[in-house]
Amino acid sequence: MLDDLRWDADLIRRYDLAGPRYTSYPTAVQLHGEVGSFDLLHALRESRRALRPLSLYVHVPFCANICYYCACNKVITKDRARAQPYLQRLEQEIQLIACHLDPKQRVEQLHFGGGTPTFLSHVELRQLMACLRQHFNLLDDDSGDYGIEIDPREADWSTMGLLRELGFNRLSLGVQDLDPLVQRAVNRLQSLEQTRTLVEAARTLQFRSVNLDLIYGLPKQTPEGFARTVDEVIRLQPDRLSVFNYAHLPERFMPQRRIDSHDLPAPAAKLEMLQATIEQLTAAGYRYIGMDHFALPDDELAIAQEEGTLQRNFQGYTTHGHCDLIGLGVSAVSQIGDLYCQNSSDLNTYKETLSSAQLATQRGLLCNQDDRLRRAVIQQLICHFELQFEQIERQFTVDFRGYFNAQWPALQAMHHDGLIHLDSKGITVLPAGRLLVRPVCMVFDAYLAQHDRQRFSRVI
């Protein structure tokens, strides 16, 4: 049932809207400058009092080369020496945060993202992990989910050995596309052999999980060429796959201005790529988790979805949504209890603030009761494709039908169109609607009308 997915071109044409990805609700665009470091310290004290487990996210912003499609917060430089002053401030932030937490709070999840985390030298990676271990209760028995994002051009066997030794047991490798024509168009030349070498190293070194990222809709892509990439990737047998839609927003992301829009595939070709990819992955035994993610049936995400325990946070789908998420580094986001907060996205501001022993929190949001209710609804739909009204009514002491009376006509229209099944007991996202779960969630978003939809990518 959970991997049941039906392609309906007519529904996709009608509901392929621009909207949030709901790694949080309210979404990051709601964060504002009235929330600062004082609110973060208060939330940390609450976390300590409740002894809640932790999830750490560490942002390493540096990349040696620019990928034209990239929308991440990064610093492009060939000068590896730039990492050291950043690490000094990052270690200062680690100390400032950790002193407000209890050593008994276990770090169940750790993730290094970027940028390119392996931009750091082996010495610097050791130094950073030693600092984290000194100040946080990292697990030593390999039972935690400790992951890192890897650019296969910036790692080799010795890097993989080091990462395993440092405690990492999950990898996410950026592939995007294996066609050299596409790679040249986005300035990311990367051979299949480079990727295969790291996947084989991960298997040999007993990493628990390997995820590969692909992007469809890049310049020079064709349905035939992308299908060849997907076939090659399937042969590598990653545990998980992320297949993202490229959102061309050159007005927001400067590197994308180097992409010739005439080289982008037509909308019909993008749809063809996605449909073929779903068919290829399904035939190879992968399950559709939701929101661009696929996993093998024995993967933890697939099992959690089957058991009804899958969650979603700023790191995407997770089995650790019960943890307080602490973001470390420039632009990093934290979610601690009902507080969301984000560090400054400007590298110099981040470093200067910490140099004066102040936390770099720049904006945030404290969820109210309405936010919590809508968050529960959206999370249930986006993780499990179904919602029982009684569960929400019990949890929040509301009458669901009455509370969402204004949204009912939109839900009825989706029911009529075959996107969802709606009755007096709940909502089920139908197989033809699962690729379009974002528009279903958007019905419950109280803030959406306030925003320019062009800030967001389209669903497909």
- 383 among annotated binding-site residues: no
The DSSP bridge partners found for residue 145 are: 109
Peptide bond into 61 cis (omega under 30): no
- 43 among annotated binding-site residues: no
- 446 among annotated binding-site residues: no
Q: Evaluate whether 301 touches 238 at the Cβ level (below 8 Å).
A: no
d(CA 414, CA 18): 17
Encoded tokens for 219 = 């310049």
Which of 82, 130, 127 is closest to 351 using CA atoms?
A: 82
Q: How many CA atoms lie less than 13 Å away from 208 in the CB half-sphere? A: 15
d(CA 180, CA 299): 31
- 116 among annotated binding-site residues: yes
Which of 78, 144, 73 is closest to 329 using CA atoms?
A: 73
Measure Cα distances from 52 to 49, 244, 249, 322 in Å.
8, 33, 39, 8
- 149 among annotated binding-site residues: yes
Sorted by sequence, the CB contacts under 8 Å of residue 364 that are 6+ apart come out as 31, 32, 35, 36, 39, 40, 339, 340, 341, 342
Look up residue 281 and give its amino acid. L
d(CA 97, CA 358): 10
- 402 among annotated binding-site residues: no
- 133 among annotated binding-site residues: no
DSSP state, 68? Answer: T
The pairing of strands 293-295 and 240-245 is antiparallel
d(CA 325, CA 29): 18
- 67 among annotated binding-site residues: yes
- 183 among annotated binding-site residues: no
Q: How many CA atoms lie less than 13 Å away from 405 in the CB half-sphere? A: 4
Peptide bond into 285 cis (omega under 30): no
- 299 among annotated binding-site residues: no
- 349 among annotated binding-site residues: no
d(CA 115, CA 64): 9
Residue linked to tokens 């946080």: 136
Q: Evaluate whether 444 touches 389 at the Cβ level (below 8 Å).
A: no
Element (H, E) at 197: helix 192-204
Q: Evaluate whether 429 touches 383 at the Cβ level (below 8 Å).
A: no
Measure Cα distances from 228 to 152, 179, 191, 266 in Å.
19, 9, 14, 19
How close are the terminal C-alpha atoms of the chain, in Å? 22
- 176 among annotated binding-site residues: yes
- 114 among annotated binding-site residues: yes
- 247 among annotated binding-site residues: yes
Binding residues: 57, 63, 67, 69-71, 114-116, 149, 176, 188, 213, 247
Binding residues for [4Fe-4S] cluster: 63, 67, 70
Binding residues for S-adenosyl-L-methionine: 57, 69-71, 114-116, 149, 176, 188, 213, 247
